[in-house]
Structure 1
Amino acid sequence: MTSIAVCPGSFDPVTLGHLDIISRGASVFDKVIVAVLHNRNKQPMFTVEERVSLLCEATKDLENVEVDSFNGLLIDYVKEKKANAIIRGLRAVSDFEYEMQAASINKKLGPEIETFFMMTNNHYSYLSSSIVKEVAKYNADVSDIVPNVVAEALKKKFK
């Protein structure tokens, strides 16, 4: 049986912390689908299309990773893709409460789907897309916390 995992998120923008989780997931599962969420509750800096494009470029060397986007419930998307797992990254204990609630409702709606939590690499435990955008807004160098393609895209956004 092929193991397929979905790694969902807003990825606005993708960081090296995200890529760490994605690449580690790709070493465990046969296929990882990185799924960009259309989140109506957030005002993203990058469009969904831009985020998908940035992720495609950032993951181009990971042969078993594909990038997609979705609307609606994650569990419906996971079932549509015939995946059997969800990958979620945890930076700190503060992430766990929300992630546990999400995993619990997903398990109720899709009992056949497992959620796997991966602790982030300690190098990236402080990192979030919000922090990246805040730092980049003031023209600080973010090249050591985001892929090069994202660093360039952020420079263009803040010109």
Structure 2
Amino acid sequence: MRRAVCPGSFDPITNGHLDIIARAAKLYDEVYVAVMINQAKKGLFTVEERIDLIRSVTADYGNVRVESFHGLLVDFCKQRDIPAIVKGLRAVSDFDYELQMAQMNNGLSGVETLFVPTNPAYSFLSSSLVKEVAAWGGDVSHLVPPLVLEALTSKLPKRG
């Protein structure tokens, strides 16, 4: 069985993330979405809320699993016999950082990284940007799934 992982914080998951997950789901028999737990970082959504949102918006894919992880991604991969990491690249600046990570992960465990260019419609998109725009009352409905928009709207304080 061919397995891959799509890691990230997904705070919240965006249409850009979903595009990469959907494309990975076509290439692999089983795709894990690994939600990072970073104790030093306070997210808008709890890890459990992120997992629930991701499970809901990927429910139509029969081969996507969603789990949290803490520590090294290569350990997550080893424990589940996952030989490949799928990462979306938005810009050259992403590549510089992600290449270093890919080389480190490969050196640590032999896990390969597959870089997937982001759909140009999402090349500017990040969870941080979505939260910032939404916090100021901007329309992000075209950037996140409807369920995520609803959750985002209920989490953010009303401005005005």
Short-chain TM bin: over 0.9
Aligned to 2:20: 21
User: What secondary structure does 1:56 align onto?
Assistant: helix
Aligned to 2:112: 114
User: What secondary structure does 1:109 align onto?
Assistant: helix
TM-fit CA distance, 1:84: 1.2
User: What secondary structure does 2:4 align onto?
Assistant: strand
CA separation in 1, counterparts of 2:78 and 2:119? Answer: 29
TM-fit CA distance, 1:133: 0.1
One-letter amino acid of the structure 1 residue matched with residue 135 of structure 2: K
CA separation in 1, counterparts of 2:106 and 2:93? Answer: 21
CA separation in 1, counterparts of 2:40 and 2:85? Answer: 21
Q: Which runs of 4+ in 1 moved over 6 A?
A: none
TM-fit CA distance, 1:153: 0.6
TM-fit CA distance, 1:139: 2.1
Q: Which runs of 5+ in 2 are unaligned?
A: none
Aligned to 2:75: 76
Question: 1:56-108 deviations in whole A, cap 9, x for unaligned?
Answer: 01101111111110000000001111111101110000001110111111001
User: What secondary structure does 1:88 align onto?
Assistant: strand
User: What secondary structure does 2:52 align onto?
Assistant: helix
CA RMSD for the aligned pairs? 0.9
Report the TM-score when normalising by structure 2: 0.95
Aligned to 1:57: 56
Aligned to 1:139: 137
TM-fit CA distance, 1:129: 0.3
One-letter amino acid of the structure 2 residue matched with residue 151 of structure 1: L
Aligned to 1:4: 3
Task: Choose 135-144 or 53-62, whichever is displaced more.
Answer: 135-144
One-letter amino acid of the structure 1 residue matched with residue 45 of structure 2: F
Aligned residues: 157
CA separation in 2, counterparts of 1:92 and 1:40? Answer: 28
Distance 1:41 1:93, change over 3 A: farther
Q: Which runs of 5+ in 1 are unaligned?
A: none
Contact 1:139 1:155 in 2 (8 A): no
Q: State the identity %.
A: 55
Please show how residues 86-97 of structure 1 align to structure 2 within 5 Å: 86-97=85-96
Report the TM-score when normalising by structure 1: 0.96
